[in-house]
Amino acid sequence: MPKQMISELEPGREVKSVFVVARKELRKTKAGAPYLALELADKSGKVDARVWDDALRYKDAFAEQDYVAVSGRVEKYREQVQVVVNSLRRCTDDEVDVSDFLRVVGTDRAELEGELRQAAEEVGNLHLKGLLLAFLNDPEFMRLFTAAPAAKNYHHPYIGGLLEHTASTVRICRLLCNLYPDIDRDLLVAAAMLHDIGKVHELAYEKAIDYTDAGRFLGHLLLSDQMLREKIAGMPSFPPELALRLRHAVLSHHGELEWGSPKRPKTLEAIVLHHVDNLDAKVNSFREIVERSLESESPWTDVKNLFKRPLYAPRPLSGEVEMELEEEFPR
């Protein structure tokens, strides 16, 4: 069946398409009747869905992370789009085009990896350089690191997103070192390159992006620190104070306790890393929100986004307007 993308679903339309089940819960109505609450996903987004009839029959017919062929209709409930499912069936993998479900970073991943390797080679501190190369030359780590998304929803939520976010963070940090000479350049670059390595174990992304058990129990900050300690343990000459400063920058890069940081930044490098990481994540989030709103006639998005406010995304000028401007103001 032709693929209907979630971003294209509108109230009143019929649905007949394949989606991946991101979440599945058996619930009861106020009257005690069972129903299935689902979250369906593809690469364009996610949508809530409900199976009101025959919920018990469908309960064991599929599982989370299964592909399902859904037949139903789109409704609006509490200002949110929702799919009311009339029937569904589990699909086999060979019935599905995987490219409909997982987006891939637009930048060449080999190019991004090469940029990180070049940055590591330019680190002057031999201990930090050795640590970076220990990760970059680990085939299993790099297999995961170059494929992982950076987040489930808000920023860089696509295959290769972690690599792209890390390369951007390193790039910005290197620029800031030229503006602020007091920064320990080698330490900041190393922290930027390693700050999110735990995400290779925090997130699963075979069919849809979701958290692993380790991700839910520990989170990527603690997982990153564990990976750092294991690599440093294999380098007996690594200075203990340098290890502490590096681990602190990684563990504190969320900035505030309420944002999941076990410690707030206490060094210049940790403070800079926190703000650069936040900047790159927010800019990418803004771009994601704007891209999803391009089909709207209004240049303003709705408030259902990471920033919890309407965002302004000016529309490009039409070809006719550009020609008129060119005639009035020739170059």
Give, for 322, the enclosing helix (H) or strand (E). Answer: helix 319-328
Whether residue 247 sits in one domain with residue 141: yes
330 has pLDDT over 90: no
Strands (E), the chain: 14-28, 34-42, 45-51, 67-77, 80-91, 203-204, 210-211
CA 181 from chain centre, in angstroms, equals: 32
Pairwise CA distance, residues 331 & 323, whole Å: 12
pLDDT value at residue 317? 60
52 has pLDDT over 90: yes
Residue type, 80: Q
pLDDT value at residue 328? 63
pLDDT band at 324 (very low <50, low <70, confident <90, very high): low
Counting the structural domains of the chain, the total is 3
pLDDT value at residue 259? 85
Higher pLDDT, 142 or 316: 142
* Domain presence at residue 29: yes
268 has pLDDT over 90: yes
Residue 87, beta-bridge partner list: 71
Q: What does the pLDDT average to over 276-286?
A: 96
- Render the burial of 182-207: b for 16+ CB within 10 Å, e for the rest: ebbbbbbbbbbbbbbbbbbbbbbbeb
* Domain presence at residue 1: no
Whether residue 39 sits in one domain with residue 115: no
Whether residue 171 sits in one domain with residue 31: no
pLDDT value at residue 302? 84
What pLDDT digit, counting tens, does each position of 294-311 carry?
777 788 988 878 898 999
Higher pLDDT, 29 or 99: 29
320 has pLDDT over 90: no
* Domain presence at residue 95: yes
The answer for residues whose C-beta is within 8 angstroms of residue 56's C-beta and 6 or more apart is: 34
CATH of the domain at 19: 2.40.50.140
pLDDT value at residue 314? 83
Q: What's the longest Cα–Cα distance across the chain?
A: 71
Q: Show the domain range for 145.
A: 109-287
Whether residue 42 sits in one domain with residue 131: no
Higher pLDDT, 266 or 315: 266
Q: What is the DSSP letter of 197?
A: T
What pLDDT digit, counting tens, does each position of 92-128 carry?
888 888 889 989 999 999 999 999 999 999 999 999 9
- Beta strands 14-28 and 67-77, pairing class: antiparallel
Whether residue 242 sits in one domain with residue 145: yes
Whether residue 251 sits in one domain with residue 190: yes
What pLDDT digit, counting tens, does each position of 218-253 carry?
999 999 999 999 999 999 999 999 999 999 999 999
Quote the mean pLDDT of the chain: 92
Whether residue 49 sits in one domain with residue 179: no
pLDDT value at residue 315? 75
Domain termination residue (choose one: 70, 100, 130): 100
Whether residue 315 sits in one domain with residue 229: no
CATH of the domain at 224: 1.10.3210
Handedness of CA 141, 143, 144, 147 (dihedral sign): positive
Pairwise CA distance, residues 258 & 305, whole Å: 19
Whether residue 76 sits in one domain with residue 169: no
pTM for the whole thing? 0.83
Phi and psi torsions of 39, nearest 5°: -120, 115
Whether residue 135 sits in one domain with residue 12: no
Percentage of residues in the chain with pLDDT exceeding 90?
73
* Domain presence at residue 331: no
Q: What does the pLDDT average to over 172-176?
A: 98
* Domain presence at residue 223: yes
Whether residue 119 sits in one domain with residue 89: no
Domain termination residue (choose one: 43, 77, 100): 100
- 125, 189 in Cβ contact below 8 A? no
Whether residue 180 sits in one domain with residue 155: yes
Domain termination residue (choose one: 66, 100, 134): 100
